[in-house]
């Protein structure tokens, strides 16, 4: 592996970390606050991708401009799903919510499949496939833009959770449900908001992914798994952990992919399992 190749791999991993952080952000928030592993997260990502695709295809809206639309749509859907379904079983054993979100994933993905067919689609704009070269390293505009959008959203959520009243209520509810309720927090509303924000973030990630990779209704499953892995790697608890987890995952993925393409999934998962055994609280997480 020469210096130039190493540089390209490094930059690729860096660009990948941004979007992966965004993919995992909403997933981590829902898991950390509500103790729900949301297997429908990938389905939300797919919905975001389709919203961007159709806004671009039918109305000619620039994919980057459709991100707020996707976020708002998924935010609303997430709110409804949480109030209508998830909230009904949130205190049932862990597997109940796990299976409920699995059922939702099945439902959403196959409805998309039914209405829009399994065709492979992609959002192609005038600037797709273009980029600039820095030394020997090639940087595509879309990936750079995706990194920028991801960073803004990640930082925005971190600020929101830290500085606003609702954000603090969300964190308080995650720490201690009963104590939060005693201080006057409306827990059901906060849960709905948390889930809706998580879905909205997934929508944004889907919008960005629709420009970066060709997609079909099954795009999401792989990203749910990645989000899970990133949360485990980084540990739950705050936004910074997600970023660290995403960076580690991206670097392992890109480097292993460059050296052992046929075994990349096995190696990535082997590292994950090993890490789980050695540091169950995550690389950056604290032992509780």
The only residue of 20, 30, 71, 100 in contact with other proteins, by rule CB under 8 A: 100
> Does position 286 bind other proteins by CB under 8 A?
no
Q: How far is the CB of 120 from other proteins (least distance, A)?
A: 19
Size of the site for other proteins (CB under 8 A): 47
Check residue 223 for interaction with other proteins (CB under 8 A).
Answer: no
CA atoms within 13 A on the CB side of 152: 10
Please choose, out of 3-11, 57-65, 207-215, 265-273, the segment that lies near other proteins by the rule CB under 8 A. Answer: 265-273
Q: Which of 95, 126, 163, 288 is close enough to bind other proteins by CB under 8 A?
A: 95
Rg (C-alpha) for the chain, rounded Å, is: 19
Helix (H, G, I), strand (E, B) or coil at 215: strand
Tally the residues of the chain. 288
Stretch that binds other proteins, among 10-18, 60-68, 72-80, 225-233 (CB under 8 A): 225-233
Q: Which is nearer to other proteins, 2 or 93 (CB)?
A: 93
84 class by beta-carbon count within 10 Å (0-12 exposed, 13-18 middle, 19+ buried): exposed
91 lies in the site for other proteins, by CB under 8 A: yes
What is the distance between the alpha carbons of residues 240 and 285, in angstroms, rounded to a whole number? 10
Stretch that binds other proteins, among 57-65, 161-169, 187-195, 251-259 (CB under 8 A): 187-195
d(CA 270, CA 110): 31
CB of 94 to other proteins, least distance (A): 6
- Is 179 among the residues that bind other proteins (CB under 8 A)? no
Calpha distance 153→258 (Å, rounded): 29
Instruction: Out of 110, 122, 124, 130, name the contact with other proteins by CB under 8 A.
Output: 110
Q: Taking CB under 8 A as the rule, which mask of x and - marks residues 24-43 in contact with other proteins? A: -------x-----x------
Alpha-helical runs (H) found in 129-287: 141-163, 165-175, 177-182, 187-212, 219-234, 239-259, 264-278
- Considering only CA atoms, which of 110, 145, 116 is closest in space to residue 221? 110
Nearer to other proteins, 36 or 211 (CB): 36
Which residue of 228, 244, 250, 252 would you call a contact of other proteins, by CB under 8 A? Answer: 228
Cβ–Cβ under 8 Å, residues 198 and 78: yes
Q: Examine residue 130 and tell whether it contacts other proteins (CB under 8 A).
A: no
Report residue 280 CA to chain centroid gap: 21
- Residue of 72, 111, 155, 179 interacting with other proteins (CB under 8 A): 111
User: Nearest approach, Cβ of 144 to other proteins (angstroms)?
Assistant: 31
Residue 57 to residue 221: CA distance in whole angstroms? 24
Q: How far apart are CA 96 and CA 102, in angstroms?
A: 10
Contacts with other proteins by CB under 8 A lie at 31, 37, 85, 87-100, 102-111, 114, 177, 187-188, 191, 225, 228-229, 232, 262-263, 265-266, 269-270, 272-273, 276-277, 280
């Amino acid at each position: 592996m020469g210096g130039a190749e190493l540089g390209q791999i490094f930059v690729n991993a860096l660009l990948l970390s941004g979007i992966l952080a965004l993919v995992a952000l909403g997933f981590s928030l829902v898991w950390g606050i509500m103790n729900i592993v949301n297997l429908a997260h990938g389905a939300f990502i797919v919905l975001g991708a389709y919203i961007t695709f159709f806004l671009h295809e039918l109305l000619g809206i620039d994919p980057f401009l459709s991100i707020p639309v996707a976020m708002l749509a998924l935010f609303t859907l997430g709110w409804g799903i949480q109030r209508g379904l998830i909230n009904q079983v949130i205190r049932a054993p862990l597997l109940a919510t796990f299976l409920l979100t699995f059922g939702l994933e099945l439902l959403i993905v196959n409805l998309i499949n039914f209405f829009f067919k399994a065709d492979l689609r992609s959002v192609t704009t005038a600037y797709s496939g273009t980029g600039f070269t820095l030394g020997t390293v090639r940087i595509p505009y879309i990936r750079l833009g995706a990194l920028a959008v991801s960073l803004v959203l990640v930082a925005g959520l971190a600020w929101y959770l830290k500085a606003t009243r609702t954000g603090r209520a969300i964190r308080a509810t995650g720490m201690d449900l009963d104590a939060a309720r005693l201080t006057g927090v409306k827990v059901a509303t906060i849960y709905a908001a948390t889930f809706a924000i998580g879905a909205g973030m997934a929508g944004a990630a889907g919008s960005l992914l629709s420009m970066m990779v060709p997609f079909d209704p099954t795009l999401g499953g792989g990203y749910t798994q990645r989000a899970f892995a990133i949360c485990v790697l980084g540990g739950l608890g705050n936004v910074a952990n997600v970023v660290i987890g995403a960076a580690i995952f991206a670097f392992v993925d890109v480097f292993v992919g460059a050296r052992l393409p046929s075994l990349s999934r096995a190696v990535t998962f082997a590292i994950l399992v090993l890490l789980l055994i050695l540091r169950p609280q995550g690389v950056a997480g604290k032992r509780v």
